Each structure stands twice: as C-alpha cells, then as structure tokens.
A and B are shown apart, each in its own frame.
Chain A
C-alpha cells in the first residue's frame, strides 16, 4: 500500500510482520540491522534500501475515486510537529491501517489575515518522510570493537567502526554499569553531558552522583543575558514588540538581520506581508538579499557580518547631527525613560564622559561615529546610512527589528544595548506603530504576552532518590577545545577537567550543533564510553558506542500540547504505534534506572496517560476582556467518566481534583481539531503595545533594571560580561570589533572571506537533514557573490573547498549578485560527512560547525556568524547532489 513504508522497512521485513509488533517482527528487524551492517560498516552501503526496493510495478496514477477512497478508509488525526524551528503550526496525519499515508494542515476555520489558519511549513509537511525515514534507528546498537569495562575501547574507530544489534536488556545493563563504573573509578567529574535532558540526568545522578553540563548563549547570541540588564526582552520567552496587528500601523520597518521567510517558517512572514499591504516601507540590513527582503520589496543595505553595531552608531550620529534642523530625536522620552544618554543623565557614580552621546560624537575618543567611519567597517555607503538615519526620526512610525543573527558574533555584547539606544533616540517604544526589539523565532513580528498556555501534566520525578551534584558547566562555544586542553574557564578561574564519558541525552545533537566539530570528534574518540539516545543515526550517535533508539512524538502515548505560538495552542495524541524496536525516552530511562535499582514508579510520579489527561484541565486562554484567564477545554462529567478508572485513580492519588469545567472548546473537539486559536480582530483586547505603561509613567511602572529605566549606561551588563572571565565591555554601548571579523581579516591578511550560517528551509537546525524529499527540494549550496566567484575562477555548481583554522568543508557554489562580496553563506546544520581518506579530513557535507572554531568571547558567545576562511575550487572528487548521498544506515 505504501511504498514509503516499504522503503523504511527495506526488503527484509514484511509490513504485516512489522505491524503485528510481535517477537517475530522484532527478530526480523534485528536481522535487517545485521544485514545492514554486515557488508562492513556505517560507511554507507552503496545501495540503500530505498534505492534497491523497487515499486510493486504498474500502479496507475491516482484516480479521483481512489483519493476519496483513501480518505474514507483512514482517519485524520492531529500529528505533533515538535522541533525548535521558529514556527508553531498545525499538522495532521491521515492514518490508514496504522500507517500515515498523507498529511494536511489547518482547515479548522476560515482563513483571514487577522484570524489565520496555522498553516504548516514545508518541513512540517514532510514530517511523515522523516518519521518513516530509512535511517531510523531500529534496535539498540553497540559499536563492534568497543566493550564495556574501559579496556577494549578502540576509541579511534568511533565514526568508522561496525555496529551490532543488542537487546534492550543488554543496552540498559551496559549504560547503567558503565556510568556507575566511570563514576566509581574517576568520580562524577569524569562525565560530560552537553545534553542531559529526556531523563539522562537522572541516570547520571543516580549512577555517578553528577556530571558536567554545558551552557552559553546558543541561538540568542548576546540577546541571551544582556537585555534584562539594560531593559529589553530576549525575544524568545518574552518580547519588546507590539503585536502583529499593530505592526500594520508602522510606516517604516527596518529589519536588521531578519529573514523570517527562512528562519520563522509558518505564519510570521504572512504577518509581515500584511504590514506591507497596509503601506509600510521596508529596509533590510543583511549580508544576503533574502526572500524576506524581496517579498517585502525592501531596500537592501548589504552589510558585512559582525558590524551592525557600527551601523547603529552612525545612524545615531546622523540623528544627533541633524536634530536641530529636523527634530529627529525624542528628547522627552530619552530624558524621562533612559539613563546614560548624555552627561546630564548619568547614573550616580558613573563618569560623566562615559555617556553615549559623547561617544557617538567622538568627543573624548576623537572618533566621531560618522557615516563615513561606518562605511569603512560595514561596507554600506555613507549616503545610504545618512538616508536611513534621517528616516527613523520620532515623527515617523518606525519599527526597528532585529533577529538574533547579528548577535551571534564575537564581541557583540554591547550591540543589543546600542540597538536599544537607537530605538530610544527615536522614541520608538510604547506607542502604536513604533517598536524596537528582537523579532525572530516564534515571536517574529508578533509581540505581547502569550494568549494561550498549556496545562501541566503534573508528572514529577523523585528528586530525593536521584539527587546529585552538578559538577560545573562548560561554555558551549569553546567546550570541545577546553576538553582537549584539559581545563575550562570557570568564571575567570582555569579549572582542570578530565572526561572519560559522554552522555548525549538527545535534546540537541551537540556534536553536530556546536562550534569546532572536528575537535568534538577528537574528544569523542578519547572517551572510554559514549552513549546516545536518539531517533536517527545522527552525528552524536555516529561517534558513540551505545545507541538507544528513541521513537518520535507520533509514537508516544502521552501526546504533546505545544505552545510557542502566541495565539494558538496545539494538541496531538499518539498517531501510530512505535516503529521497530524503539522506545520513548521515558521507557529508556526507566529501563536504565531499573538496572540501577530504582523501580519505574519511583522515577516518574504518574503514567503518561494520566499526565496527558490532566493537561487538558490546565490549558488556558483569556476571556474577551484580555485579562481574565479562562480554561480552553470544556470537560464534562461524561468526559471524566470515559477515562479508565486506573488513570483516574492515579490522578486522584496525586491530589488532583477531577471536576467538570467550562471552556471554549469541547474535549473531543479539541482532540480532533488539534488546535485552539484565539480569534484576533482589529480593536480586540488581545493587542499589545510594549513599554506603553512605562512610557506614560516610568516612575510608577519601572522596568526590571537596576535603575528601573532603559540603561544606555549599564553597569549590570558590564559586570555580567566581566564575570564570565573572557572579555570585557564598557558600560556604555562602545563598538568592539569582532574577533574573527572584518577588521581582523583585513589587518591580518590571512583569510579572504567572512562566513555566515543562515538558517535554511531544508532543516530546523540539524533536524530533517536526513529527509530525502527535503534534500531534493533544497540543494544546500554555499552562497557567494559573483565577483568573488569570478576572482577564484569558480562557476555556478562547482565544488569549492572552504578552509578555516578549524577545518575544511566542501559545498557546491551558488553564485548570486544578492550577496555581500567577501561573505560566504554556509547553511546551518547539515549532517557532517568526514572523508577519512583526505589528509585534512575534509567534510563533504558542508557542516557549518566543522568550519567554525571552538572559541568564545564575552557572555559565552557561540559565534556562528563570525568565522574567517579561505575558499578555492576543489580539485578532488567533486560533490554529487545531496539528494544522492546515501542515507546513514546501520
């Protein structure tokens, strides 16, 4: 019936056997795995099952009757879409005879620009291709030349070794005993878990008494920790923006490093289109002429990566210099709502000369931040800077928006503060049509408090039983380098470390997602034991010793209730039975914990089913007044009666009261729809003007900063950065040239190109990169300007090699005019494919983090948009299209 399904199984297992979920099926799957690796190894076999399995033959293309027939035979159910993608949308699956045959998206109500359907993006719509991907891990696996005990390790073979299937019982025993052995032998400080989620932390605490974790700025860049100090929001958990209907009131929307068309797929870009249709003009400051800029007909100001701060200073300079004549600056707002802009408004104890205005004008450093000064740094012509500076004055309704990308650069700690300063100068805060803030991820173009929220499952774990001590945290940006060196920077104190084990809990594919992957591989090869719990043979798994196959959200009993979209709450229950011999994370953890002497009931307080039901009670939204919280789900006594008694007993025993409630949507209706969406319309009570109360009366409505005001002079920011012991900043928004940035490139003369790592539609970070229909749709080249290609003798489609201090990667060239010269766009997140036969261990997949060095600055920045490299035409074997790369099969 389903070729897709057949391709997952390969030729070895019949679908019928598989669906039975019987011991025979499990054995058959194990046999498949054996067959899959017997040729030799994870060096992918030359013919993957999807290529060897031929279609049954002459099925004719579908007829109309057959389409109707398929839908009549199956059932549409909501299907989770769960990754860290920057969108939150509705996905549904047509389940026919236990198999998902088709997908659809939101059709629960008429679609209007104000009351949108939450339509899923291209990746979400390819979800079944991921769930049924041939590289699903089918059974627990052990690396062949590794044995427990720390003697027969053969660490150098990680990534190239053969694999053998083992039973779950064996896997649980090995993970429990190895974690315990390493904890007993070397202490908890020998274990590193950059991702300790999904219950992995329970295992490490119980078996070893603790472990080292990792932290840092991640996607936020310097919006991670700074905004709380100077008075803005981070753009993920809260926003400094007005809501999307108010965005339509803006006259000029300036987007600095924002490309929602690529990085916030789903609804956000459609909201920007509404603003355009309402008459807003757009400016896009970005190294790439993006799909966003093109669709919004934005004026493009191509900028060099890591220099946005210099642009902002020059815009401020233009405003100051022209204010007498053109009245651009909102002095009333600055005087009332900020500290530190000029000498007359400095906080107590701060040196008068450390004010922003004198810094911008160059009063003390003799460097006025003129458009010409900025042109030399940013590459944006001074005339364009002047024009933009003159256009963002207080009498224009301006939205100043920035993504996190410009802040994912070294030494950018003061840039967000300068962005705030620029917005405050124009008074673009607290008024309709005016806003200043981060616009990306879920919250792109749509600020304000959440209008919906999930209920709690009430499931907790036994903290006492599995308590232990955190050993410390490494900075993600430089952790691989630190581990190799044997010491890490612990807030200014170099502290020795000697890891013997890595546990990848699976919340993030850390070997793939963190800078300096080549060093990361070296680290993995030095360990005694590496374990990964995950769904696919991803990069963490590839360099492990034991792999625990975890199933997807479609296969779990507990369903998902997903927030993230300001206006819509999503629910999805179990869609299909678990595939192969996979287990949920919870089942994996309880299995390992049992080996450590802890019964399942002592790990998690309730069953998944009980937690799933309880969650409906707590789902909330606001009444029409916009302030009174009210339940979303109507739950009748009959609904409660219909729940199995054992689940009710569990909930009652936990102290939860099961009583009917009145909400907005019936329980069954909500479970079937998969979504509750707040109906928005002009003039409703769900809009938001950020800083409104603060602007009206800052004394009565102070911000959560030390002064209660926006801090253009911010000691808290300065102290926070200094406390991490890497680099320092001024308390005022002084420009710090980027480590591995443009100025360094020019002064050193060692490298010719700056590298940025755009989010690419093919993936959500690294997720979906194994999905062949997405590889087919998105070829994943490196973007470069035509002048650079010409200088290097490269034509479109040529394979090029890019080499940084960290490593070398290959990609095909996509030559365009819409790219800042001297900048290369290496798309974020593709799965590394090291060519072990090359002297330099070249990565043929073009993994961004293979090129990016393991290093950090400031507030522990992971600096994905500041790498320097050289680039040449590749003289080795050229690349085939990514879609023709074999799947990673074991």
Chain B
C-alpha cells in the first residue's frame, strides 16, 4: 500500500492560519460554520525573556499507518484507502464520535451528525493537484505526497514528534516536520494569540 504524508516546514511557517481558513472554506455542508475545522494552527513559545523561541504547528489528519479512528469505528465506515489516505464512507457513519475520542491528534469532528475530517483533498489530488492548504500557503511551508518522496525531497532532518504532539509511533502518523529547534524543547507553552 502507498503511504501518503503531509510535510510541514515549521521553520518557514509564520502561524498566519491561511491553511486553516482555506480548508474551512471548502468544507461542504458546514460552509464556514464556527467550530468546524479540518486543519488548525496553534502558536507556542519556549525559553524566557529575552532568550525565547516561538513556533507554530499546523495540523490536520496525519493519514496514519495504524489509524486509531479506523480501529475503533463500529461501522467500519472509516478505512485506509489504497493510496494511503484515511477516508470514510459517509453512508455507513452513524456519527457516534468514537473515532473523535480515539484519535490522539483530535482530528475527527462530528459535522451534521457525520464524522468529518481531511481527506487529503482527494478530488484535487486525483486531478494531479495539491491539497488546498498546500497551494494556499504564502510561505510554501506545506506539501503532500508519497512519504518516501517527501523524505527524499526535504532531507533527512525531518521529525514526526514535537513536545506538544502525541507520540507519532502510537498510530504511525505520516507527518514530516522540518522543526525549529525550540519546538523540540521540553518546556513549551501555548500562546493563545
């Protein structure tokens, strides 16, 4: 099976939330409804004045190798597709929210009584395009594609774990981060900014 991943250049990210908004813009059936996100951005800080670090994390579904949502879905409505993305058969979904509770990244949401989350912009990707968030980023900090190709393209120093994220090994998260050094420190604080 293929393995798809998101690449996130945290060094370049300025935390502008453009990816969050453009993703929200396309959630059909929600149409900019408050509280509904497939991708979110959070800001963090490390260190103490004046030696501080600052970074953002842009996060969506990591299309995991061992997705917790797939494992727990009582309806088998969520599945790992051939191309490696984690998708859903909405007709089977009963909106129970078991998946949302199981995902360590808190990705699945219940929208209009159905589970909803990032599908890797499958329709765009099928047309040979990149996901919306990738093409929207003013800092060109996001990419999406085959895991191995992304590693080859962006170098060996990528990580899948930050101190503010769950252990990527739990679900085999397909997330490749070019991390700022401060994001790897243990003592970091979220900035509600």
Does chain A bind chain B?
A: yes
Q: Is A859 an interface residue (CB 8 A)?
A: no
Q: Is B75 an interface residue (CB 8 A)?
A: no
User: Taking each of B30, B49, B91, B111, which has the highest tally of chain A beta carbons within 10 Å of its own beta carbon?
Assistant: B49
Instruction: For A291, give its contact among B15, B31, B47 (CB under 8 Å).
Output: B15
Q: Is A394 an interface residue (CB 8 A)?
A: no
A59–B28 alpha-carbon span in the complex (Å): 9
User: Taking each of B17, B45, B135, B139, which has the highest tally of chain A beta carbons within 10 Å of its own beta carbon?
Assistant: B17
CB–CB B16/A761 < 8 A: yes
CB–CB B34/A295 < 8 A: no
CB–CB B14/A269 < 8 A: yes
Q: Is B174 an interface residue (CB 8 A)?
A: no
A785–B49 alpha-carbon span in the complex (Å): 8
A113–B150 alpha-carbon span in the complex (Å): 19
CB–CB A773/B50 < 8 A: no
Q: Which residue of B lies closest to A818 (CB)?
A: B52
CB–CB B91/A60 < 8 A: yes
CB–CB A292/B14 < 8 A: yes
CB–CB B112/A294 < 8 A: no
Q: Is B88 an interface residue (CB 8 A)?
A: yes
Report chain B residues within 8 Å CB of A300: 50, 52
A797–B191 alpha-carbon span in the complex (Å): 10
CB–CB A61/B29 < 8 A: yes
A119-B136, A265-B138 given; A125·B21 CB < 8 A: yes
A336–B49 alpha-carbon span in the complex (Å): 43
CB–CB B180/A294 < 8 A: yes
A30, chain B: closest CB distance, angstroms: 26
Query: How big is the A interface, by class?
Result: 35 or more
Give residues of chain A (118-135) contacting chain B, Cβ–Cβ below 8 Å: 119-122, 125-126, 128-129
CB–CB A777/B20 < 8 A: yes
Interface string of A773-816 (1 = CB under 8 A from B): 11011110101011100000000110000000000000010101
CB–CB B13/A295 < 8 A: yes
Q: Is A64 an interface residue (CB 8 A)?
A: yes
A3–B34 alpha-carbon span in the complex (Å): 12
Q: Which residue of A lies closest to B129 (CB)?
A: A107
Interface string of A50-63 (1 = CB under 8 A from B): 00000101111111
B162, chain A: closest CB distance, angstroms: 15
A787–B132 alpha-carbon span in the complex (Å): 41
Q: Is A835 an interface residue (CB 8 A)?
A: no
Instruction: For B140, give its contact among A3, A270, A295 (CB under 8 Å).
Output: A270
Interface string of A249-269 (1 = CB under 8 A from B): 000000000000100011101
A66-B28, A107-B135, A778-B17 given; A817·B45 CB < 8 A: yes
Q: Is B163 an interface residue (CB 8 A)?
A: no
Q: Is A821 an interface residue (CB 8 A)?
A: yes
CB–CB B122/A64 < 8 A: yes
A155, chain B: closest CB distance, angstroms: 37
Q: Is A772 an interface residue (CB 8 A)?
A: yes
Q: Is A557 an interface residue (CB 8 A)?
A: no
A827, chain B: closest CB distance, angstroms: 10
Q: Which residue of A lies closest to B115 (CB)?
A: A61
A61-B112, A64-B123 given; A122·B193 CB < 8 A: no
Q: Is B113 an interface residue (CB 8 A)?
A: yes
CB–CB B138/A270 < 8 A: yes
A111-B140, A289-B54, A797-B192 given; A3·B49 CB < 8 A: no
A68–B119 alpha-carbon span in the complex (Å): 14
Report chain A residues within 8 Å CB of B47: 817
A55-B112, A105-B136 given; A129·B32 CB < 8 A: yes
A68-B123, A125-B136, A818-B49 given; A62·B28 CB < 8 A: yes
Report chain A residues within 8 Å CB of B123: 64-65, 67-68
Report chain B residues within 8 Å CB of A67: 26, 28, 123-124
Interface string of B101-138 (1 = CB under 8 A from A): 00000000001111110010011101000001001111
CB–CB A57/B54 < 8 A: no
Q: Is B25 an interface residue (CB 8 A)?
A: yes
Report chain A residues within 8 Å CB of B20: 122, 777
Q: Is A883 an interface residue (CB 8 A)?
A: yes
B192, chain A: closest CB distance, angstroms: 6
A125-B18, A267-B138, A814-B193 given; A64·B32 CB < 8 A: no
A433, chain B: closest CB distance, angstroms: 23
A122-B21, A295-B11, A773-B21 given; A779·B193 CB < 8 A: yes
Give residues of chain A (83-139) contacting chain B, Cβ–Cβ below 8 Å: 102-105, 107, 111, 119-122, 125-126, 128-129
Q: Is B144 an interface residue (CB 8 A)?
A: no
Instruction: For A125, give its contact among B22, B27, B119, B192 (CB under 8 Å).
Output: B22
CB–CB A3/B193 < 8 A: no
Q: Is B24 an interface residue (CB 8 A)?
A: yes
CB–CB B192/A779 < 8 A: yes
Q: Which residue of B lies closest to A132 (CB)?
A: B32
A821–B34 alpha-carbon span in the complex (Å): 35
CB–CB A291/B14 < 8 A: yes
CB–CB A70/B28 < 8 A: yes
Q: Which residue of A lies closest to B10 (CB)?
A: A295
Instruction: For B27, give its contact among A62, A796, A818 (CB under 8 Å).
Output: A62
Q: Is A623 an interface residue (CB 8 A)?
A: no
A818–B182 alpha-carbon span in the complex (Å): 13
A783–B191 alpha-carbon span in the complex (Å): 10
Q: Is A4 an interface residue (CB 8 A)?
A: yes
A499–B138 alpha-carbon span in the complex (Å): 47
Q: Which residue of B lies closest to A2 (CB)?
A: B31
Give residues of chain A (261-317) contacting chain B, Cβ–Cβ below 8 Å: 261, 265-267, 269-270, 273, 289, 291-295, 297, 300, 302
Interface string of B66-78 (1 = CB under 8 A from A): 0000000000000
Report chain B residues within 8 Å CB of A796: 192
A122-B16, A300-B50 given; A818·B45 CB < 8 A: yes
User: Taking each of A58, A59, A104, A817, which has the highest tally of chain B beta carbons within 10 Å of its own beta carbon?
Assistant: A817
CB–CB A773/B34 < 8 A: yes
A104–B14 alpha-carbon span in the complex (Å): 20
A129–B33 alpha-carbon span in the complex (Å): 10
Report chain B residues within 8 Å CB of A778: 17, 193
CB–CB B54/A102 < 8 A: no
A58–B49 alpha-carbon span in the complex (Å): 50
Interface residues, chain A, CB within 8 Å of chain B? 2-4, 55, 57-68, 70, 102-105, 107, 111, 119-122, 125-126, 128-129, 261, 265-267, 269-270, 273, 289, 291-295, 297, 300, 302, 761, 772-774, 776-779, 781, 783, 785-787, 796-797, 812, 814, 816-819, 821, 883
| 28 CB < 8 A contacts A-B | A3-B31, A60-B90, A61-B27, A61-B29, A61-B90, A64-B122, A70-B28, A104-B132, A104-B135, A119-B137, A121-B16, A121-B138, A122-B18, A125-B22, A128-B25, A129-B32, A266-B138, A270-B139, A295-B14, A302-B50, A773-B34, A777-B20, A783-B193, A796-B192, A817-B47, A817-B49, A817-B52, A821-B49
* Ranked 3 nearest A-B pairs via Cβ: A62-B28, A261-B14, A294-B54
A61-B114, A125-B25 known; 11 new pairs, CB 8 Å cut-off, are A60-B29, A60-B93, A61-B115, A126-B25, A270-B139, A291-B14, A294-B180, A783-B193, A814-B192, A818-B49, A821-B49
